[in-house]
Structures are given as structure tokens and as C-alpha cells.
Amino acid sequence: MSDHIVESISSVYKRISHAAMRAGRDPLEVKLVAVTKMVPPEAIREAVDAGVRLLGESRVQEAKEKIAVLSGVLPDTVSWHMIGNLQSNKAKLAVQLFDMIQSVDSVDLAKRIDRYASEAGKIQRLLVQVKLAGGESRSGISPEGLIALLEEVGNLHNLVVEGLMTIPPFLETPEDVRPYFRRLREIRDGAEEKGFKLPELSMGMSGDFEVAVEEGATMVRVGSAIFGRRLYQ
Ligand SMILES: *Cc1c(COP(=O)(O)O)cnc(C)c1O
């Protein structure tokens, strides 16, 4: 096993704990999703050996290949999370592959997922992705549209929405991202006041997860701080 991955994971866990304690939170409230896009199966296995149980992938096809290679190798307690933009023609495969889909941002997509979950005899766990900034290119539902979406999704019986996810705009300084994390928490609190139960807040990546934890993240999605820089071809 490469010491590098084990040490990085232990350092990330420590930083999560410290951030939680600074905010007066129980560190056990925060789950680490190791983001494994572009990461080869062998390194994923090392991360799981080091204790990681949640794995995040952003492309369905890539996830499919890795899950096939790793089937029977990883313990059953490992769960795969879809964290990338999900095209509707990949929804069926996503339902087959992922324990949780974090990137649902439209009623149409939710309905499709519901239909495939029904066919698969599965209750699909979801997060709703909220767009707080970033122009047209970013996915996510607008904060104004969230309640209507939650109401419609509440009528679909093969889905359970467990919380909200966001990808804030890229900013150099983690402190500058704080208002976006706080905003997602406030939006969640507002929705809970209207009767929706949304315990999970998926926010924070390698550059800013400590700030996200201070602002209430229950899932942080960390890739490069564990596996090193991704080499894009
Ligand atoms: C790639 C990715 C991450 C992890 O990014 P790092 O900066 O490598 O930690 C988190 N969330 C999403 C949605 C991603 O696509």
C-alpha cells in the first residue's frame, strides 16, 4: 500500500475533526466522500483499505468500468455516489450503479430516476444540487425553484431526498467560499421549516472542505487532497 494515500486520508480526517470541533460540532457528523474520478482502481482499493467507505464519481461510464473491476474486491459497506452532472440518457445506468445520486436538479430527471428505481425495485437515495452562482454552465436548481422541486419529488415513491449539494464558484481563497456554504445551509434550514427533512449537506472539496465543515457540511467531497493532482489527458 502506498503510504501516501493512507497518510493523506488520515490528514484529511484530522482536518475534518479539527474544523468540526472549532464549530462546536461532533466530527462524526461529517462523512468523507473520496472523489475517485480519474483515479485508477488500485488507488481506490488503497483508500478503502485505509477506511474510506464513500466513493464519488462524476461520470457514469467511468464509474461503470471501475465498479466492474472492483466488484468482489471491495467490502459490501462501500457506497458509490454520483456527484457529476447526470444526463438523462444515463439515468438508468446511474440507478444501477450508485447508492446515492447527489446531482439531481430537475423534476424531469427525478421522474426518470424514479421510473428506473421502480423497475429495479430500489429506493434511490438523492441529494438535490443547488446552483448558488456560476452562470449558465453550472448545473443545479436555483434556490427559488427548490421548494417546488421538493414538492414534486415528494410525490415520487421510489426516491428519497436526503439533503442538498452545491458546487460553489471556484475562488482562490477558501474564506471567500464561506458565504456560499452558509447560504446552502440557510436554504436547507428554510426548506426544513416548510416541512422537508434534509439532514445532509454535501459541500466542500480539497481546497475548502474545512470551511464547509465549519458551515455545517455533513459530506465533504475530496479528491486531489487524497489522491494527488488528477492528470487530464
Ligand atoms: C472533482 C470533484 C470534487 C473533488 O475535487 P477536488 O478539488 O479534487 O477535491 C468534488 N466535487 C465534485 C462535484 C467534483 O466534480
Q: Is the pLDDT at 233 greater than 60, yes or no?
A: no
What are the tens digits of pLDDT across the range 43-64? Answer: 999 999 999 999 999 999 999 9
Q: What percent of the chain has pLDDT over 70?
A: 97
What are the tens digits of pLDDT across the range 70-83? Answer: 999 999 999 999 99
* Spacing, Cα 155 to ligand 1 middle (Å): 31
Q: What residues form DSSP beta bridges with 164?
A: 128, 201
What is the number of the ligand 1 atom nearest to the C-alpha of 221?
10
What are the tens digits of pLDDT across the range 19-37? Answer: 999 999 999 999 999 999 9
User: 63: helix, coil or strand?
Assistant: helix
Amino acid at 112: R
What is the number of the ligand 1 atom nearest to the C-alpha of 222?
9
Query: Ligand 1 pocket, 60 CB below 6 A?
Result: no
Measured between alpha carbons, how far is residue 155 from residues 76, 85, 114, 151, 168 in Å?
31, 23, 10, 7, 29
Burial of 30 (0-12, 13-18, 19+ CB in 10 A): buried
Query: Ligand 1 pocket, 163 CB below 6 A?
Result: no
User: What are the strands, taking DSSP E only, across the chain?
Assistant: 31-35, 54-57, 79-82, 100-104, 124-130, 159-166, 200-202, 219-222
Integer Cα distance of 130 and 125 in angstroms: 16
Strands 219-222 and 100-104 turn out to be unpaired
Q: Is the pLDDT at 91 greater than 80, yes or no?
A: yes
Q: What percent of the chain has pLDDT over 90?
A: 93
Structural contact between residues 150 and 193, judged by C-beta atoms closer than 8 angstroms: no
